[in-house]
């Protein structure tokens, strides 16, 4: 397997991301729109969909827990 393929990480949707960070899906989408949560917009306008990487969400959670200490 090539190095590029071994580091591939799929995107997850807001529903799956919300389960990981334990927030409501609408909250996950709002935080992503506001730039507070790492997310990747797909599409334009009102139908924009957000996709997330679990590794980025892990980093976000770690930074939040470190900031609270």
pLDDT in tens, 2-47: 555 568 899 999 999 999 999 999 999 999 999 999 999 999 888 8
Token pair belonging to 38? 């790492």
Buried b (16+ CB within 10 A) or exposed e, 6-26: eeeeeebebeebbeebebeee
Q: Give the CATH fold of the 11-67 domain.
A: Arc Repressor Mutant, subunit A (1.10.10)
What is the widest separation between alpha-carbon atoms in the chain? 41
pTM score above 0.85: no
Q: Which residue has the tokens 């807001």?
A: 14
Is residue 24 within 8 A of residue 65, CB to CB? The reply is no
Q: According to the model, what pLDDT value does residue 3 have?
A: 56
């Amino acid at each position: 397997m090539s190095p590029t393929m071994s580091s591939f990480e799929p995107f997850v949707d807001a529903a799956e991301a919300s389960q990981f960070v334990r927030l409501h899906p609408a909250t996950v989408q709002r935080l992503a729109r506001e730039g507070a949560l790492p997310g990747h917009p797909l599409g334009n306008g009102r139908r924009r969909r957000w996709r997330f990487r679990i590794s980025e969400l892990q980093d976000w959670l770690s930074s939040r827990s470190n900031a609270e200490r």
